[in-house]
Structure 1
Amino acid sequence: MALTLLASNNASSVLAAGISASATSLAVNTGTGTLFPIPVSGTSYFKLTLLDAATGTITEIMHVIAISGDTFTVLRGQEGTTARIWSANDIAANMLTAGSLLSMLQINNNLSEIAAAGTAAQNAALKNLGSSDGTLKGRLINVQIFVNNGQYTPTTGTKKIIVEAISGGGGSLSGSAPSGQTGGSPPGYHGQYNKSLFDLSAISTPLTVTVGSGGTANNYGGATYFGPYMSLGGGNPADATTSSSSSSIAGRAYPITGAVNTSTGLIISSSQGETFSTQLVQVTAGVACGFSAPGSPFPGGWQGRGADGTYASGGISYTGKTGNPGMLIVWEYS
């Protein structure tokens, strides 16, 4: 723990007797010890500068760590000065030094003494600034990203978390266009999305994180779980093939999602149960254009996106595509 630097105004005396270069104590004139600060061993100290009476040009800076009457216990040769022999009547004063200035809370010091003093000193300083428990509050301290199954262990100092997750997107269908017609599959539905705020004290950690995989042809996307606290069902596969001998083919590209989207935290945003209107796709020269799945609700639109649809000319088989996998992000705050 860093010692507290003490100081007194106009504290000055002279040496009552000479000292050697190796001495660890000195005496000042009788009765003048009371002019100086009173340090507590292991807690505080003050600066003492000795100045030769003969020329006034030779100095040594010491740290006084204890006082008994007029006798000082000292640490010699501080701030680049050299311990030397001193004579009676040389000046001993509590002067301002470069070290004194640099120990103050100024910009170039960057609070380094508090940082170096350890956790207890840092907590005390934060309490002085208004923190109820001596910790920094509300700052983002880490982000943990899961693109595969894993285990969530909170970063030290985490108090609250925001969990943002999406499950795997559904696959599109495989099928065959009837002879003389065009056919295809709508896209799969995107995975469920949820963004919730949790107080870490309400969560048992470490916990298992499951990230849903993309649904293969004709199949649902995989579910995403944040332990027992968040559950997101995978996206539905496309609901039906479509075919037509007219100039376009029609299909419900985004069926209702039947999966459950739950969270025990405070839900900030979520998606579930949406329906979309019928999508028409123009046919050019007897070949259907592709059904393209839109972006998912997850920022960036790629994670959890449903599979694109497929198409084929009459009598041709088509193979469904795989949806995109899910993702989970934990934003950790102090």
Structure 2
Amino acid sequence: MTVKYYAILTNQGAARLANATMLGSKLNLTQMAVGDANGVLPTPDPAQTKLINQKRIAPLNLLSVDPNNQSQIIAEQIIPENEGGFWIREIGLYDDEGVLIAVANCPETYKPQLQEGSGRTQTIRMILVVSNTEAITLKIDPSVVLATRKYVDDKISEHEHSRRHPDASLTAKGFTQLSSATNSTSETLAATPRAVKVAYDLANGKYTAQDATTARKGLVQLSSATNSDSETLAATPKAVKTAYDLANGKYTAQDATTARKGLVQLSSATNSDSETLAATPKAVKTAYDLANGKYTAQDATTARKGLVQLSSATNSTSETLAATPKAVKSAYDNAEKRLQKDQNGADIPDKRLFLRNIGATNSTTMSFSGGTGWFRLATVTMPQASSVVYISLIGGSGYNVNSPMQAGISELVLRAGNGNPKGLTGALWRRTSVGFTNFAWVNTSGDTYDVYVEIGNYTTRVNIQWDYTSNASVTIHTSPSYTANKPTGLTDGTVYVIYSSHIKPTAADLGLSDASGYVGRLVNTRVFTSSGTYTPTPGTKRIRVTITGGGGGGGGCKAISNNETFFGAGGGAGGTIISIMTPIQNSYPVTIGAGGAGGVSATNGTSGGNSVFASLIAPGGAGGGKVGITNTNGGNGGVPSTGDIRITGGNGGDGQSGNISVSGEGGTSYWGGGGRAGAGGGVSGKAYGSGGGGAYDAGYSGTSMTGGKGAAGICIIEEFA
């Protein structure tokens, strides 16, 4: 059985719930609205932003998670008996910003007013399935809600259960009985203030005990310690027994070691290395006399142990002094800063500066004065088949803030020929628009060549670096001669541009343009939803035309029983053409096919009109047909016969087969679905070129019903340069 009554999230509601779930925030549902949908049972539409015909909106009375299904939210609102006078067919759920979050339909019911002679309290409930109930705030304002009978019963039950507590115990909270007894040993009764006062008064009039001392009797604390010297503690029998056993000879003496006290044997030896004997005074005196001057110390030498003097000097050549830690540290720090032989220069901190200091890097600073033009930069000698020269410029023309192109690099590479023929091969690699822009050379004699470069104005204080193979030589002219024009007799080199975000390739550089210069760049998009004239945008070389014919109208109906035409068919959708063209005229007429009209009473819908651009004809869809009293066939979609891509429109749905209703929906076009069948009249197509829906009368009222109108076509022209 098809579900007739249901609730859905609107598009805005789904988006807000997804956003709340992703960000960890809350969606606050606050109000519910009801309406009569203008007298027709509605179908919930996710695109809705409001009810069709709202009659009442008020705060929610209940908002909770369904205890039987944790993925469902239950929202309730109570309409009191003093409000009414309207039908209820649609329900809407709003958030605290007034956005429609969910919409539902319901069995139609009339809410009477008291003055009509009848009144009732109406409960409206919406059950909504959501993906994440934690993203919804389950909170209502208790000052504005009315309680349902179930809500009151639940609260009474909750309150009743809340009072069924167990008795209190030493391990758990609970109810307890009071007692004023002062001689009870109960652990389940609670003392009254009276019992506490009796105990307090008794304790307050008794003797106050004092601690015992060596001069006074009193309270004393026991101790089992045997090493305490306290005069305020009393020994326990355990402590007395321990002392008795020790005194009674039960302790076993142990020999002393270097790690433990104990018994030890004396010795007068002066040459013993024992660690278990103790020296006698005799042995001590013998050692003392020996140390007291009977031994004559000698200075140490490289061949003999002896006394030595310390020295902190780091430049001494003495062989009789000993270095202090200070001298050792100075020597260590000095060695730490030295280069290691086995590193082969890898431990040099600034290798580039080192190479420059020893003259291993060829570099100079120079200026190109005179303006934009040609300069004789260098003279090179390059033996054939064995030599290469490299020259680079670092810098650019001018000194301006925020001009990164002036921080440029130009690299010139020359390579000798193989001698047959004799000459050079050269390439300039440009990274920026400034620096070297061109170069050439001329052979002056033998293997010697003058190298010329072209450069822009204000190229001053730039760095020139060069390198070459061991058999070549390079002389840089730091004051180069200038000519505005390229000297005659030079051989041109090849210039390569290294493309980047600074120097971007053209379409021709990338091989993207054809003979007409067309590169495929979108210039403009023109949309025609009604007939008019197309004039190409200047610079347009190609156009892509997407054109759709009008949709056919849905069939009508009129019947007093199912043996007549009670269900009209849907109209067919218009065909669509997509084609690439080259505009050759100053302008083109554009015809947009109109949507076919819906059939009136038990008649066919009319066909949609053709849409035309130049030689392209996008045919309209046929209207919903009627081949017999009880058979209504959907209109055929338009079938294009011109253009590059030809898309046939969707057929309309059959409305009635015998005495059985079928579909009656309008055909789907390239742009979307057609209108649905409708009681009281078919729904018009909404997407461009879609068919109208058929009309149906399930009540067999004998009323003349009109089919839905087909949607008009469209023409979209995309212009490319």
Q: TM-score category by the smaller chain?
A: 0.5 to 0.7
Counterpart among 682, 685, 690 of residue 305 in structure 1: 690
| In structure 2, distance between residues paired with 1:6 and 1:150 | 60
- Relative distance call for 1:191 and 1:128 in structure 2 (3 A) is closer
Work out the percentage of aligned pairs sharing the same amino acid. Answer: 25
Query: Amino acid of the residue matched to residue 107 of structure 1?
Result: S
**How far is the alpha carbon of 1:49 from its aligned partner?**
2.1
Counterpart among 682, 705, 709 of residue 318 in structure 1: 705
| In structure 2, distance between residues paired with 1:255 and 1:106 | 56
| Partner in structure 1 of residue 500 of structure 2 | 107
| Partner in structure 1 of residue 555 of structure 2 | 173
Whether 2:648 is the aligned partner of 1:267: answer no
**How far is the alpha carbon of 1:271 from its aligned partner?**
2.2
**How far is the alpha carbon of 1:106 from its aligned partner?**
5.5
| In structure 2, distance between residues paired with 1:134 and 1:233 | 33
Asked whether the 8 Å contact 2:544–2:581 carries over to 1, the reply is yes
Query: Amino acid of the residue matched to residue 572 of structure 2?
Result: Y
- Relative distance call for 1:153 and 1:36 in structure 2 (3 A) is same
- Relative distance call for 1:50 and 1:107 in structure 2 (3 A) is closer
Which structure has the higher relative contact order (CA within 8 Å, separation 6+)?
A: 1
Computing the radius of gyration from Cα coordinates, the structure with the larger value is 2
**How far is the alpha carbon of 1:187 from its aligned partner?**
0.7
Whether 2:555 is the aligned partner of 1:162: answer no
| In structure 1, distance between residues paired with 2:372 and 2:577 | 51
| In structure 2, distance between residues paired with 1:141 and 1:277 | 40
| In structure 1, distance between residues paired with 2:694 and 2:571 | 7
| In structure 2, distance between residues paired with 1:134 and 1:255 | 42
Query: Amino acid of the residue matched to residue 237 of structure 1?
Result: G
Asked whether the 8 Å contact 1:173–1:241 carries over to 2, the reply is no
Query: Amino acid of the residue matched to residue 329 of structure 1?
Result: I
| In structure 1, distance between residues paired with 2:637 and 2:508 | 52
Whether 2:576 is the aligned partner of 1:187: answer no
| Partner in structure 2 of residue 295 of structure 1 | 668
- Relative distance call for 1:134 and 1:186 in structure 2 (3 A) is closer
SS at 2:523 equivalent = strand
| Partner in structure 2 of residue 252 of structure 1 | 633
- Relative distance call for 1:150 and 1:7 in structure 2 (3 A) is farther
Asked whether the 8 Å contact 1:184–1:243 carries over to 2, the reply is no
Q: How does 1:141-156 map to 2 (within 5 A)?
A: 141-156=523-538
**How far is the alpha carbon of 1:7 from its aligned partner?**
6.8
Q: How does 1:179-218 map to 2 (within 5 A)?
A: 179=561, 181=563, 183-200=566-583, 203-218=584-599
Q: How does 1:230-249 map to 2 (within 5 A)?
A: 230-240=616-626, 244=630
| In structure 2, distance between residues paired with 1:145 and 1:310 | 32
**How far is the alpha carbon of 1:295 from its aligned partner?**
1.5
| In structure 1, distance between residues paired with 2:376 and 2:657 | 88
SS at 1:143 equivalent = strand
**How far is the alpha carbon of 1:134 from its aligned partner?**
8.1
| In structure 2, distance between residues paired with 1:144 and 1:167 | 17
Q: Between Structure 1 and Structure 2, how many residues are aligned?
A: 230
Query: Amino acid of the residue matched to residue 191 of structure 1?
Result: G
| In structure 2, distance between residues paired with 1:134 and 1:193 | 29
- Relative distance call for 1:136 and 1:185 in structure 2 (3 A) is same
SS at 2:719 equivalent = strand
**How far is the alpha carbon of 1:220 from its aligned partner?**
2.1
| In structure 1, distance between residues paired with 2:537 and 2:374 | 38
Query: Amino acid of the residue matched to residue 693 of structure 2?
Result: D
**Structure that is richer in helix per residue:** 2
TM value normalised by structure 1:
0.55
Query: Amino acid of the residue matched to residue 239 of structure 1?
Result: G
- Relative distance call for 1:242 and 1:49 in structure 2 (3 A) is same
Unaligned runs of 5+ in 1: 12-33, 39-43, 52-64, 69-103, 115-124, 245-249
Unaligned runs of 5+ in 2: 1-370, 380-449, 463-481, 486-496, 600-605, 674-686
Asked whether the 8 Å contact 1:290–1:311 carries over to 2, the reply is no
TM value normalised by structure 2:
0.28
Query: Amino acid of the residue matched to residue 332 of structure 1?
Result: E
**How far is the alpha carbon of 1:160 from its aligned partner?**
2.5
